[in-house]
Chain A
C-alpha cells in the first residue's frame, strides 16, 4: 500500500505551497518561462481550478492540496510559449506521452514535480451529503457541510478510485522536485477491478455498460479533461465521415466511449481526469482500466513511465499474441 513518508521529515503541505510559489517567482522573474501553470482556489468547495500565472504579483494565487484534481498536462499543449507546469505523478506521465508524440518541446517545458498522495473525488461525497456548501481539510480529515447532511470523512474514504491504485505518485520526469517523495513498494500492476468485471457473464457486462452508457449525455467533458485527447478535430466532431449522428442513443454513447478508449490504447496514464470530469458519473474508468490491463498483459507496456520506451501501438513483435483470431 502507498503510505506517506517525507524523506526530509516533518514537511507540511504549507511548506510545499511556499516552495512552489518561490520556484514560480524565481522562474518568472528570471524570465525562464512565460507562464506557470498551476492550481488556484476554485469557486466551489473541494475543487481547485487550473491557474495560469504570467506575472509575479499573481503568484500568491497558487495553491497545492488534495483538491488539485485536474491533469494540468491537458493545458500544456494549448499554452503558447515557454511554460512551467506543476506535475503530479500522473501529470508527468501524461507529459512523457505528449513528448514522445512530439506534441511538446522539452526545452519549452519546465516541470515542477510534486509527489501526490491522491486527490479527492467530490462525487463520492456529494452522493451522500448532497451539494457541498462548505468544506475543510485538516489532519487527514475532510469535514463537509452539505445540502442534505453534514459529515466527516477520512481522506482515504474520499480518495479518487484512480489514486487508490496509483503506482506512480512521484513524478517520473521533472526539472525540480518540491517536498518529499512517497515510498511505493515495488509491485506489478494489479487489476483486481478489471478481473472482477471479466468474471461476470457477457450478459451481465452488457447490461452494466448499457446502464452506464444510458447516463452519458455526450458533453465530451471527459475528452476535454483528458491530457492525451489533443486531436485538432475529434472523430465525434467530424462531418465526413460522420461517425456519430448526434442523436440521443445509448449505442452511440458506447460507440463514442469505446472509440475514445481505443484511441487511448497504450497511451492512457490512468489519471482519472475523465471520470472526475464526468457530470453523469459514467464509469469511464472501467473501460480505460480494461485497456490498460490488456496492453500490460499482452505487450508488457505501461504508458508514460519512461522517455526511452515507445508507445505500445507504435511497436510490434513477430510473436505478438493472436488469441483474437477466429477459431477454424
Chain B
C-alpha cells in the first residue's frame, strides 16, 4: 500500500491529507459504520484498516504507514474497560503512551499521529474525531519526511 504523493493541486492549492486509520473491529470500526448508516458527514481523508483489537496494532504499523507516505495516522479502539477481549486495549494503552512520547521526542509534530477511544455507539463522535484529526493534519501540511521513505525506498542517493 503506497500512499503516494500528497495531493496539492496547482489550481486550488488545497491540500487533502491521506490518513491511515487503524480501527478495532468491535468498537471503532462499528462506530465508523454507525456514522455511515446515520449519514453523519466527515471528511473523506481516512483510509480505514480494520484490526481485530487495538492490542493487535504493532507499533511498526504506525511507522510503516508514515514511511509509505501517509500524512497522518489515526488509531482507535474500545474505551478502556469495554474491550471485547477484556484487556486488549489496556495492554495497547501502555504501548500507545510510549509510542506517542517517543515519536514526539524524535521530532514528529504533535497531531501527526492521533489516538482515540470510540465505541460502537459513538457514530457522531467518530465523525467529530475524524474532522478534528483532518483539521490538525491539514494544518500541519504534507508528511514532513521524519519517517517518510523517499523515492519509494529505492537506492536513492
**Chain A interface residues (CB < 8 Å from chain B):** 197-198, 202-203, 205-210, 235, 241, 243-245, 247-249, 251-252, 254-255, 258-259, 261-262, 265-266, 287, 290-291, 294-295, 298-299, 312-313, 315-318, 320-326, 328
Contact = CB atoms under 8 A, between A and B. Distances in A.
B107 A205 contact: yes
Contacts of B102: 258, 261-262, 287, 290-291, 294
Contacts of B91: 313, 316
Which 10 A-B residue pairings sit nearest by Cβ, starting from the closest? Answer: A206-B107, A245-B153, A324-B100, A316-B90, A326-B114, A262-B59, A205-B107, A209-B106, A326-B116, A324-B97
Contacts of B4: none
Given A209-B106, A254-B106, A243 B60 contact: yes
B149 A245 contact: yes
A41 B102 CA distance: 39
Contact of A251 (B96, B117, B133, B149): B149
Q: Which of A197, A203, A245 is the most central at the interface, judged by chain B CB atoms within 10 Å of its CB?
A: A245
B150 A202 contact: no
B131 to A, nearest CB: 10
Interface of B: 59-60, 63-64, 67, 80-81, 87, 90-91, 93-110, 114-117, 128-129, 132-133, 145-157
A322 B59 contact: no
B80 A318 contact: yes
A316 B87 contact: yes
Contact of B104 (A202, A244, A265): A202
Contact of A328 (B103, B107, B128, B150): B128
A245 B147 CA distance: 13
Contacts, number: 139
B146 A206 contact: yes
A197 B81 CA distance: 35
Nearest to A297: B101
B132 A249 contact: no
B149 A290 contact: no
Contacts of A322: 80, 93, 97
B3 to A, nearest CB: 14
Contacts of A328: 116, 128-129, 132
Contacts of A258: 63, 102-103, 106, 147
Contacts of A210: 107, 146
A325 B115 contact: yes
Given A198-B105, A252-B149, A294-B97, A320 B90 contact: yes
Q: Which of B90, B98, B146, B151 is the most central at the interface, judged by chain A CB atoms within 10 Å of its CB?
A: B98
Contacts of B80: 318, 322
Contacts of B151: 247
Given A258-B102, A298-B94, 7 more contacts: A235-B60, A245-B152, A247-B151, A251-B148, A287-B106, A320-B94, A321-B97
Contacts of B67: 251-252, 255
A259 B117 contact: no
